[in-house]
Amino acid sequence: MTTGAAERLVIRGGAPLKGRVTVSGSKNAALYALAAALLTAEPVVLRNVPEIADIGEMAEVLRDLGARVAIDGTTVSIEACELTKTFADAERVAALRASFLVMGPLLGRLGEAACPPPGGDVIGSRPLDVHFAGFRGLGAEVTREGPAYVARSPKLKGARIFFDYPSVLGTVNVIFAATLAEGVTTIINAAAEPEVEMACDLLNAMGARVRNGGNNTVTVEGVAELHGADFTVIPDRIEAGTYLLAGVATGGDVEVVGAVPEHLDSLVAKFREMSVRVDPFEGGMRVRPDGPLQAVQMQAVPYPGFATDLHAPFAAALTQAHGVSIIHERVYDNRMNYVAELRLMGARLTNAGQSVMIEGPAPLVGTPVRAHDVRAGAAVVLAALCADGETVIRDIGHIDRGYADLDVRLRALGADVSRR
Ligand code: EPU
């Protein structure tokens, strides 16, 4: 869905959310799956793809390279039988971070790939050194030519590769390239997020030989070619976590269909410390109060640690907890875009460096605020649901990038939310 530039989200808060909501397919995993389709000349059909702007943007990046992409609701079909270019278009790539994932497939399949630095949320320095170290490890030459990074290798060769940091996109990009390399690649210190695991499952469904060995090690045995697949994207654990947190923040009783308990261990552990009752049911999870909400400490780290993408909505929920909470962000150096907005609403937040201290419970009041990035946007939405009076949120295009039909889903939980 695209959002009009002047559109605002208007929320009248103060009531506990109650009811059941179903989450979409994972935004990030779906983006990886679209890029994976470039590895084969055969059609790849993806189901349960979220209906969000980023998918349309990624489709444009692939179309520009010569792939045919058809979007029909939550089903996306990609056919990359004739790729006409090995360089991605700068303007399209600037729209989203995941666009850099065209590098691995193009390099693996065609021996050459070029892509300008990708866009994405401004949440800290977002280097690409892990991607390049991986491509070089496979024998590619990586250079900067004008505006683009270029990787070349007539035939990639499997290797043992160590990552300085378990970068999510870096891991996926290097796995993509390694699927068509000669011999075996072992990645040490690879990212272990469920979205990475899903990308490996899709590749295996396409004929690749990828093994997630646990311990942050991934082994890829190169094959001559990949084939098509029909594949269903996993539910979005960040969207699920956000709706669970909306229930918790408002002291409500919320069931989230698509919340996979094994993907949300770190959040569930914090819920228990906060006196939130968590009950898994077939296909989802329910949260409701188990006493007054308690303050906690949390560190955002790579999976299976607490997800950095839930840091901001979690902070919003903690404004309603009794006591002093502390969050330490260890993934990004600029995740605090939400702090000033929540303060405008009356939250008592103090941040220094990578840490935020939250004193609660703080009565929040409806105020005009901004969504600075997708997750900072989710945080102001949660704060607005707890606030007295009307909150008007600007720049909601950021929110719509990650949350399909957020207003519709929140209304299903009884929230007073509209677009104006
Ligand atoms: N990093 C490096 N070197 C690299 C790449 C990353 O040092 O070559 C560092 C970064 O500086 C950062 C950390 O690694 O401190 C995390 O970056 P990572 O590469 O893991 O993130 P990403 O792959 O660019 C994806 C998601 C993000 C999510 C992170 C972490 C997509 C499109 N983006 O980004 O999602 O926060 O993994 O889980 O999949 C979001 O959905 O809101 C979002 C920002």
Q: Is the pLDDT of residue 2 over 70?
A: no
For residues 316-323, average pLDDT: 98
Q: How confident is the model at residue 126 (pLDDT cuts 50, 70, 90)?
A: confident
More confident site: 203 or 127:
203
Report which protein residue has its CA nearest ligand 1's atom 25: 168
Q: Is residue 1 part of a domain?
A: no
Are both 19 and 49 inside the same structural domain? no
Rounded CA-CA distance 98/90 in Å is 13
User: Is the model's pLDDT at 258 over the cut of 60?
Assistant: yes
- In the prediction, which pLDDT does 119 show? 79
Nearest-angstrom CA–CA distance, 51 and 308: 23
Same domain, 218 and 240: no
Instruction: Give the domain-ending residue among 232, 252, 276.
Output: 232
Confidence band, pLDDT 50/70/90 cuts, at residue 334 = confident
Q: Indicate the average pLDDT of the chain.
A: 95
| 144: containing domain | 27-232
Do 187 and 292 have their domain in common?
Answer: no
pLDDT tens across 78-92, in order?
999 999 999 999 889
- pLDDT by residue (tens digit) across 358-369? 999 999 999 999
Same domain, 32 and 20: no
Count of positions (residues) in the chain: 420
In this prediction, residue 122 has a pLDDT band, given cuts at 50, 70 and 90, of low
In a domain, 4, yes or no: no
Give the residues across from 355 on adjacent strands: 328, 352
Who's near 227: CB < 8 A, 6+ residues apart? 40, 42, 206, 207
The CATH number of the domain where 299 resides is what?
A: 3.65.10.10
Residues 272, 185: one domain? no
Q: What is the best residue among 125, 131, 167 to mutate for testing ligand 1's pocket, by most ligand atoms within 8 Å of CB?
A: 167
Q: How does pLDDT run across 25-78, given as a tens digit for each residue?
A: 999 999 999 999 999 999 999 999 999 999 999 999 999 999 999 999 999 999
- Counted domains in the chain: 2
213 and 241 together in one domain: no
**CB of 297 closer than 8 Å to CB of 267:** no
Cα 221 vs. chain centroid, distance in angstroms? 27
Q: Which of 167, 198, 232 is the last residue of a domain?
A: 232
| pTM of the predicted model as reported, rounded to 2 decimal places | 0.96
Residue ranges lining ligand 1, Cβ < 6 Å: 28, 31, 97-98, 121, 124-131, 165, 167-170, 193, 308-309, 331-332, 374-375, 402
Of 209, 232, 255, which closes a domain? Answer: 232
Q: Does 212 lie in the same domain as 283?
A: no
Q: Looking only at Cα atoms, what is the longest distance across the chain?
A: 63
Q: What is the mean pLDDT of residues 360-385?
A: 97
Residue (of 291, 392, 311, 295) closest to 355 by Cα position? 311
Question: Residue 166's pLDDT is what?
Answer: 97
Same domain, 190 and 278: no
Residue 115 · residue 148 · CB < 8 Å: yes
| Cα–Cα–Cα angle for 194, 199, 200, rounded to 5 degrees | 95
Which amino acid is it at 212?
N
